Structure 1
Amino acid sequence: MRILVTGGAGYIGGTVAGLLVSQGHDVVVLDNLGHSKRSMIPAGTTFVEADLADRATVESTLRDGIEAVLHFAALIEAGESMQVPERYFRNNTASTLTLFEAMLAAGVNKLVFSSTAAVYGEPESTPIREDAKLQPTNAYGESKLLVEQMLAWLHRCHGLRYASLRYFNVAGAMPGRGEAHEPESHLIPLILDAAIGRRAAIKVYGSDYPTPDGTCIRDYIHVRDLAKAHLLALDALNDESRPGRLIYNLGNGQGFSVREVIETARRVTGREIPVIEETRRPGDPAVLVASSEKIRQDLGWTPELASIEQILTSAWEWHQQRYE
């Protein structure tokens, strides 16, 4: 297939684009390089440097034989979204609508959407199922939920076939590609920065949550396992006998607290990792752990790198190579 990957120079989008290429697909990457580097464009892809808001370029790219879209281009910082929510609604929601309009105009009717567990907000129970209430506690989650709502209507009114994949915490690395956000705000690369000496310490935001050790609990999924789920979702959309509206959680189904992740990182790296305790950040739920039973049953997806040790080990190997 000829596939458009938006945000394909980024951490997750680039991993998925590379996997698509390895399986023989013709991949076009569209990225504005606002949070990534030209050197991270996956080998074997065609690159279009553009913003999603550029309707003309997006539509002309889609009209060049594109059969499906995997959409990763988005701002992802929950904390920042509470400071400048308008930026998130403009980039994540309005620009995504531009993409959808261009898809409709170009006759492209298959989409795999990079959503987020943040659409659930503070869950009433865990592990979280796909039918749980959608009540985001930050503007980032709301910006993604609005996209999911648009997709439901586009499916109903135009027959758009889509899969919305709600990620939990993605981490780990593949050869040559790992987490490298600028600026960085995700826990594992920040911890490894402290381990390697690029940061003096790791900040822990909140130690008074209603959890066993007082710190937030999150579900971590290896980026390779996540990438494989996207290919399974795309295959399902190509199967006309299957429903054209798929919604799945992607996670390991087990949670690790911030303190547990730090302790595991100390064991994996063999380094002392200083900690500074800060107050809670607004909009951070205490526990986010997924139930991924639905995608396991429907598509046969199974995480292969499920332990926090495996995730951290791959991330540490890449992190060290990154700064050699």
Structure 2
Amino acid sequence: MSSWLVTGGAGYIGAHVVRAFSSVGITPVVVDDLSSGRPSFVPSDVAFVQGDILDVELLADTLERHGCNGVVHVAGFKYAGVSVKRPLHTYTQNVTGTVAVLEAMHRAGVNKLVFSSSAAVYGTPATELVTEDSATHPESPYGESKLIGEWLIADVTRARPEFQGVALRYFNVVGSATDEVCDLSPHNLFPLVIEALIEGRTPRVNGTDYATPDGSCVRDYVHVGDVAVSHVAAAQALEAGRPLLPGYNLGSGDGLSVLQIMDAMRRVTGVDFTPEIGPRRAGDPDRIVADGSAAAADLNWSMRHTVDQMVASAWSARRAAH
């Protein structure tokens, strides 16, 4: 039976990847330092090693001890806004951390890597629809650190012909595929709105004067269960030796506005509210949406959830966590 290490597997996205592996008969192994993850997010029958991805010895030992075929590297510091204020921390976690993962894989003779990248590598795109060929212009230390991670993988691939890695780029991951795992990030739109509604506060929209149909920013919102499926599909493609692009966008192709999300929150939760309108946040482009057709062809990518289903699953999982 195949076994894969999931770094950050006690986090919101990583814990969904763990469950997706188990569902197809691949044994997941988790390494997580619990800086943002939760032990309760890891199923009781999954091997869990609490530790830092900067610890090369720990990673190499874990890979060898569990006979891992590959790594899904999800662990990282993912807050773009905070990264501007904490660049060195961001680079240590995301760049030095990825170097440590690659070094540990080399020591353990493991040659397959699925890298959780970000659509932040594109910055503010020149076109409304981002493709894998779009220019990369990251605008935060977070986006820069993810792009450097992709460069590291490309360099290792050139240096070691037996090594193969693939990067998955995505924007706003939302919802839950199980009530056992929810998004608790203090920086993401869905949990911010849901926490406000639970606490009786009014959710806030940052700017409604953008060049979009309703004036609010338009973004990709992709369901975490769909994202997890494509991480597993990427791992299976690497195991099968199928040729892949260096990176893929997990995108919706059309996007949703912040006000559309607010409307869905009202419909699904039954809580009636009129969001507060605040000023724009610096650096927020009008519209960023990615084309997911390449991932649909190669990595079983599909938008399987409506916006109402995304909201309903997020609301259900967050309430179950109370």
Q: Normalised by the size of structure 1, how large is the TM-score? A: 0.93
1:286 aligned residue? 286
Partner of 2:277: 277
8 Å Cα contact 2:183-2:314 kept in structure 1 = no
Aligned to 2:14: 13
Distance in 1 between residues matched to 2:147 and 2:273, nearest whole Å: 36
Rate the CA distance shift 1:247–1:208 in 2: closer, same or farther, 3 A.
Answer: same
Please, what TM-score do these two structures have when normalized by structure 2? 0.94
1:189 corresponds to 2:188: no
How many pairs were matched up? 319
Matched with 1:91 is 93
Quick check: 1:201–1:274 contact (8 Å CA) kept in 2? yes
Q: Deviations over 1:260-284 (max 9, x none)?
A: 1111111111102353333333333
Residue 164 of structure 1, aligned match among 163, 167, 191: 167
CA RMSD of aligned residues (A): 1.6
- Compare 261-270 and 169-178 and name the one that shifted more: 169-178
How far off its partner does 1:203 sit?
2.5
Measured in 2, the distance between the counterparts of 1:49 and 1:72 equals 15
Secondary structure of 1:4's counterpart equals: strand
Gaps of 5+ in 2: none
**Within 2, Cα distance between the matches of 1:245 and 1:239?**
15
| 2-structure distance, mates of 1:126, 1:85 | 28
Aligned residue number for residue 255 of structure 2: 255
How far has the Cα of 1:181 moved from its partner? 2.6
Query: Cα deviations across residues 201-245 of structure 1 (Å, max 9, x unaligned)?
Result: 2232233322223321111111111111111111111122x2265
Among the aligned pairs, what percent are the same residue? 40
Please list, as runs of the form range in 1=range in 2, the aligned pairs for 1:70-89 lying within 5 A after superposition.
70-89=72-91
Distance 1:178 1:190, change over 3 A: farther
* Structure-2 residue corresponding to 1:129: 131
1:1-324 mapped onto 2 (5 Å cutoff): 1-64=2-65, 65-159=67-161, 160-182=163-185, 184-196=186-198, 198=199, 200-240=201-241, 242-243=242-243, 245-305=245-305, 307-323=306-322
Shift of 1:37: 1.7
Supply the AA of the counterpart residue of 1:163. Answer: V
The CA distance in 2 between the partners of 1:61 and 1:314, in whole Å, is 33
Distance 1:157 1:275 in 2: 52
Mapped partners of 1:21, 1:299: distance in 2 = 17
Partners of 1:50 and 1:300 lie apart in 2 by: 32
